[in-house]
Amino acid sequence: MPHLPRPPQAVVFDMDGLLLDTEIHYRASVISAARERGLPIDERVYEGMMGQPWTGISALFKRTWGDGFDADGFRVLWLEHFHGLLEKDLRLKTGVVELLDLLDTLGLPRAIATSSAHHQVEHHLARFDLIRRFDAVVAQGDYREGKPAPDPYLVAAERLGVAPHDCLALEDSHNGIRSAHAAGMMAVMVPDLLAPTEEIEALCAHVAQDLLECMRFFEVVEAG
């Protein structure tokens, strides 16, 4: 049975690639937008974007395609591709509803800590009526520095009224794990497009196959 250093008193979720199966669309859309512009791109560019706020992504684009690159203009094209894909196919990741149901039963508070904007969180989760199932949503504009800095997770813990030490953080990205670990949380990676490296595994309390596996962390709590 997977176990954690201590029983979680709250759970903080990433969104893209953890709750929602969106990372595959982010990857496809940035690649298709780059090709439309005739820009060279490989997997390393997308991997560097994962878990980053727009400021980090913009800086990555300029390192990749030159200081004079119009990152904001490219973002418009990229998001057009992305939203087109989302309208056709947006799904929950395996185990989302089951884990939230269990947290309801246990009475444990939960939050979202994401690099996405509030309007994106509301739009995406509204399709599945999930916003009401979270006690707090921490998104762009709610913190000073984005992931991999600890700020998003520290703000989430503060809003939940639970010490970071007692929070379980669920993440699919390397930068997200770095952020959660730096905040002092029990960080668990549920890999999506990126497998954990040795560095990331060392920061994790556990690496889970999916959110259904994460439910097993609470079996002792439920039995008690």
Which residues are catalytically annotated? 14, 16
Q: Residues near 119 by Cβ (< 8 Å), separated by ≥ 6?
A: none
Three-class DSSP labels, 104-138: HHHCCCEEEECCCCHHHHHHHHHCCCCHHHCCEEE
Containing 74, the helix (H) or strand (E) segment is helix 71-88
- The pair of structure tokens assigned to 87 is 């309208």
Give, in order, the Cα–Cα distances in Å from 167 to each of 33, 48, 108, 186.
38, 26, 10, 6
Contact 185, 168 (CB under 8 A): yes
Q: Do β-strands 186-189 and 110-113 pair in parallel, antiparallel, or remain unpaired?
A: unpaired
